[in-house]
Amino acid sequence: MRADLKAISELVAPGTRVLDLGCGDGVLLRHLQDNLGVTGYGIEIEPAGVVASIGNGINVIQMNLEAGLSGFDEHSFDTVILSQTLQAMKHTEPLLRDMLRVGRECIVTFPNFGYWKNRLQVLAGVMPKSSDMPYEWYNTPNVHLCTLHDFEALCQRVGARVLQRIVISNGKPIHALPNLLGSLAVYRVSA
């Protein structure tokens, strides 16, 4: 299982209601259902992801996140998850605000653009590529990459409190100089 998904499953309380935004093939929700007994719903836009999610036995709703979560009531979920999708959203700020409205807590994960290997590549004069960001600049779905500092500034702007932060590199937690040494960030935030 992807390192950030493993980290997420440690942050979700058993038996709660979970909404996974951009659930892909549904493996995270399936894992949370099987191991934590959560009541989960996934949201996915891609037809292949929707079909794969159905095959994985999760409740999937085909919907475009860019249109927001207007169909969901305030605090209708215990946890709203956005894993490795933040950086690919066009309407990043409105979505984060919507997540804070719908979920009592939110978990957001994204590749840290401030990771030293990314910085080195920029310094060398090229756009960074890594296992977390495996795309070329011309075909990447990532339109809003950010660093830990950038994300925390956005949190402050939308009134999100950071409850917990896990920073990972090579599947291991990083404690010192996270914005430099961590390749992947996992945040637990609430309104």
Contacts to other proteins by CB under 8 A: 17, 39, 41, 47, 50-51, 54-55, 57, 59-63, 71-73, 76
Closer residue to other proteins (CB): 9 or 16: 16
User: Least Å distance between CB 17 and other proteins?
Assistant: 7
Closer residue to other proteins (CB): 104 or 117: 104
User: Least Å distance between CB 52 and other proteins?
Assistant: 8
Closer residue to other proteins (CB): 28 or 186: 28
User: Least Å distance between CB 101 and other proteins?
Assistant: 15
User: Least Å distance between CB 38 and other proteins?
Assistant: 11
Specify the DSSP element, H or E, that contains 154.
helix 148-158
Nearest to 100, CA basis, from 150, 61, 143, 154 = 154
Q: 78 and 51 in contact (C-beta within 8 Å)?
A: no
Task: Please tell me the distance from the alpha carbon of residue 50 to that of residue 108, in angstroms, as a whole number.
Answer: 21
Task: Please tell me the distance from the alpha carbon of residue 135 to that of residue 26, in angstroms, as a whole number.
Answer: 22
Closer residue to other proteins (CB): 9 or 62: 62
Task: Please tell me the distance from the alpha carbon of residue 19 to that of residue 97, in angstroms, as a whole number.
Answer: 15
